[in-house]
Structures are given as structure tokens and as C-alpha cells.
Amino acid sequence: MSDLYIHNSLSSKKEKFIPINKDLIGLYVCGPTVYSDVHLGNCRTFTSFDIVYRYLQYIGYKVRYVRNITDAGHLDGDADIGTEDKMAKTAKALKLEPMEVAHHYTVGFHKMMELFNNLPPNIEPRATGHITEQIEMVQDILENGYGYEVNGSVYFNVQKFAEENDVYGKLSGRVIDDLLSETRDLKNQGEKRHSADFAIWIKADEHTLQRWNSPWGEGFPGWHLECSAMSTKYLGSRFDIHGGGEDLKFPHHENEIAQNCGACNVVPVNYWMHGNMLLLNGRKMSKTPDPITGISNSIMPQDLFSGKNEFFSKAYSPMVLRFFMLQAHYRSTLDLSDEALLAAEKGYYRLMEANHRLQDLVHTGEENIHENENEQIEKMIQAAIDDMNDDFNTPKALSRLFVLVNKINSIHTNQINISSIKEETFNKLKKVFNDFIFDIFGLKDETQSTDESTAHVLDGLMDLIINIRQDARTTKNWGTSDQIRDKLNELKIKLKDSKDGTSWTIEK
């Protein structure tokens, strides 16, 4: 097994993956803020990390995958003071308890993840369920001298931390002197000593809905704190991989590192991974309305699945969306367009059809082995695995599978004689091709009817129709055989005659 390389955002380099404990990998991914339904951009990030989780397991690692639910402390505009809490805003607008809002959107999020066939994490901790741990972390930060309290709120002292630790700004590439020089701009600084400081505990005011007792009075935790506290609790103060969308690098992840170091004196994460943004009309997909036009640039997955939206010509299924996402590397931006989705739809069905053909083929014994074909098949299988080992390069691996699709189709039509392929190579192709589609890429087969009895009835009816057509042809009853063919064509059912009989497929 070749080595796995991961692009580490901390060093901006691909690095060989060396786990802290090879028997259990720690993977933490920032989850959704459950104040509204997830949009397709969120789904892309979670799908990218689902592939990471799947592949780590495929190559034999046991993984503890922690993905949190943010249900407190995330303020509007990702600010740390001065704006309203996202949860509270929705709760007030809908006249609901914040917990009702959180529950409703968490259920919706789970349903959406299931539609995309994303595996559930092993632990899904909520910010509101870990207030004690967050308060303890604030206390540790204060004890280590990296925090200060002002009037019931606690701030992280970035200046002091940066002076004493060569860590702050490394992940996001921010120049610490620039950040600190902003301290001269005292506007919007409020109680902070320096503008680069950030709140880790925020005093509740009369409008605050979610509030907890703390040594500093009633308040709530800062947004960045939950991920520091919950990753430490479930994965330890140092763990392997932390992921999230590119937009979380600063301030969220930079501040997470500062808090972890500030509380535990340990740099928390070995490999930071960031997924790039899904774009719509060339701009980042986001629910936040544009400040000038007031229009938000996002599409909800369910509107894409139903086809009821202003952007696209037709409905696309969840697996077509997943396939579309696989066609781009997770570190590249990906632009959603009708042409790209149409192409993805074709590609998805071609891949599935090839796999059906492959799984139906039976090797009947070796004869006149074609060394060149064998070598090409072996090479493509290995190349696809190497691509995944090269920072989870799904588009490249997918392109190798399509070289194999051509081979499979040639075997299916007898252009390549199955007996000229070594049995061992053929069986490997059968297994690895299937593994890639289902275990690594996490695609589901939408071409098969989920209702087995319906599929069974359909198979029986098609056999009957094909037999009637065959009888009509034998008796030169062209009227009937043409009528059958035309009607099937209308229904997009294509018949294919070969020396082994007639097969049928539904055209997409």
C-alpha cells in the first residue's frame, strides 16, 4: 500500500500522512450552524470530508470522526461581539425556542446528509451540550495569562499570545503585525484591549435568549470556543486531522488554534484540511444577502432535486450532484451550471451502466492472454488508488475509472475477449471498480429501482414483450414488432439484439 499524502493548510504543502496513533485516527470537521436549512455549498464541504472519512477507512484505518452542531454563540456576520446570535434571530422571527430551531434544522441536516449518502460521524456534539467544558477552557486560558475579563465578558489576548508563541496567523497567512497595527483603529473595539483580540465568553444582555451561569456572570460562549473544547474532549489535545470550508480559516480556525494552545500549551492539529467553495454564477454560494442587491446567492438542494428553481432547466438527483462534486478536487472552487450538471448526469449513468455490465460478466477461463490489455487494466486500477493517495484527488481517480469504463464496454461487446484477460486481473477489476463507486466515492445506485418487487415485475413484463416481439419477427408480423419497438422507444426503453438474445436498457 502506497503512502497517503495530504495537503496541509498549515504548511501549504502536501505532507505524508503519519497518524499519531495508527490504531485510531482523529478527524474533526466543523459542522453546520443550525439556524436554517443547509445550502448546497455546505453540502459540498460535508461531502468532501465524507470522502476523506471513507477513504481513510478504505485503506484500513479506524477513524473517530467528530462533526459538531453549532447551536449557540455564532453571531451574525461571523462577528464575535456587537451583532445578534443567528439562532436567536431565527427563534425570535419564528416565535420558537432556540432549541426548537436547533432541533428542526438538525433533523433537516441529517436528512440531507442521508440523501447525499454522507456517512454519519461517530460523535456529533452540540455546543449547548458542552458549556461546562467551554467554561473550563476559558478558565485555563485565563490561568495561562492569555485572557482578560472586562465587565462579565472574557477576551483572548492575541497580542500577548502572538508575542509568546510563533503560531498566530500561520494557518490563514495573516501577518500578525498587520493584525496588531489595526489596534490603533479603536472604532468597534469596545472592551477589547486590541482589535485583534476576540471574545471567548460574552456577557448576556436583556435580549440574550441562550444564557448560562459562569464565574463571570450570565453569558454565552464565543463561536470559536466550542470546536476547541469539543475536539479536545473527544480527540485529545493533539489530534490528526481538522477540516472545514476555506472560509473558516480566519478567524474561526486561527482562533481555535490560539485557544487550544492558550489552554493546553499544545498545538492541537497535525493536518489542517480546507475544502474550497461551491460557486453559483461565479460567486460564493451563501445565504447571507448581498448588501447592495439584498439577494442571496444560494440554492437549496431540495429545489435542485425537484427542479423547481430559477437557475436550472431540469431536476437533478442527489447522486448526480455527488458525482458532479467528485469531478472537482476538494481544494478547487466548483461552479454550478446547467451544462456541468447535464454532463455529470451522463457520466453518472455511464459509470453505473458499466458497473452493471462488469458485475454481470463471468470469466470463463483464460485463453490467448492479451498482455497489453492486462497491463493497462492493472495500471489504471493502481493509478486510481495513487490519485486518492495524492490528497484525495477524486477527479483524477474518476478519469481512470472512465478509461476502465471503455475497457468494460469493449469486453461487454466482445471487442475484447474476456478470456484474453487474466482471471486475477478481471476479478480485481470487478472488485476495485465496485469499491470505488460505492465505498470510496459513496455513490448510490439510483438506476436500480429501490422497490425490488416493482423491478421484478418490470423484468417479467419486459421478458414477455421481448418474447412477443421475437415471435412476431419469426412469423414476419412486422406490424406488431414495429409497434412494440416504437412504443418502447417512446418510453425511452432501448432494445439491443445480439447473438445471445435481446437485452433492454432505459435511456436517461
Residue ranges that bind Zn ion, judged by CB under 5 A: 30, 227
Sign of CA dihedral 426, 428, 429, 433: positive
Site track 434-473 with ligand AMP (rule: CB under 6 A), x = hit: ----------------------------------------
Residues within window 180-199 making contact with ligand AMP, judged by CB under 6 A: none
Q: Tell me if 436 sits within 8 A of 397, measured CB to CB.
A: yes
89 lines the binding site for ligand AMP (CB under 6 A): no
Residues within window 283-322 making contact with ligand AMP, judged by CB under 6 A: 284-286
Residue 278 interacts with, from ligand AMP, Zn ion, none (CB under 5-8 Å by kind): ligand AMP
Tell me how far, at minimum, the Cβ of 19 lies from ligand AMP, in Å. Answer: 23
**CA-to-CA distance for 433 and 104, rounded, in angstroms?**
38
Residue owning grid cell 432549541: 99
Tell me how far, at minimum, the Cβ of 337 lies from Zn ion, in Å. Answer: 30
Residue 231 interacts with, from ligand AMP, Zn ion, none (CB under 5-8 Å by kind): none
CB burial string 423-443: b at 16+ within 10 A, e below? eebbeebbebbeebbeebbbb
**CA-to-CA distance for 223 and 199, rounded, in angstroms?**
9
- Amino acid symbol at 405: V
Judge residue 408's burial from the number of C-beta atoms within 10 Å of its C-beta, 0-12 exposed, 13-18 middle, 19 or more buried: buried
* Binding window for ligand AMP (CB under 6 A); candidates: 153-161, 279-287, 300-308, 426-434: 279-287
Taking alpha carbons only, the member of 349, 213, 288 closest to residue 33 is 288
Residue 295, number of CB atoms within 10 A of its CB: 8
Residues whose CB falls within 8 Å of the CB of residue 402, separated by 6 or more in sequence, listed in order: 347, 350, 351
Closer of 30 and 137 to ligand AMP (Cβ) = 30
Among 4, 27, 44, 125, binds ligand AMP (CB under 6 A): 44
* Chain CA centroid to CA 426, Å: 32
Taking alpha carbons only, the member of 251, 267, 345, 277 closest to residue 43 is 277
* Binding window for ligand AMP (CB under 6 A); candidates: 25-33, 110-118, 140-148, 356-364: 25-33
Residue 110 interacts with, from ligand AMP, Zn ion, none (CB under 5-8 Å by kind): none
What are the backbone dihedrals phi and psi of residue 280, each rounded to the nearest 5 degrees, phi first? -130, 125
69 lines the binding site for ligand AMP (CB under 6 A): no
Please tell me whether residue 182 adopts helix, strand or coil conformation: helix
Nine cell digits for residue 429? 477489476
Tell me how far, at minimum, the Cβ of 288 lies from ligand AMP, in Å. Answer: 9
Residue 10 interacts with, from ligand AMP, Zn ion, none (CB under 5-8 Å by kind): none
Which residue's CB comes closest to ligand AMP?
245
Residue 284 interacts with, from ligand AMP, Zn ion, none (CB under 5-8 Å by kind): ligand AMP
Tell me how far, at minimum, the Cβ of 33 lies from ligand AMP, in Å. Answer: 4
Residue 247 interacts with, from ligand AMP, Zn ion, none (CB under 5-8 Å by kind): ligand AMP
Residues making contact with ligand AMP (CB under 6 A): 30, 32-33, 41-42, 44-45, 244-245, 247-248, 277-278, 284-286
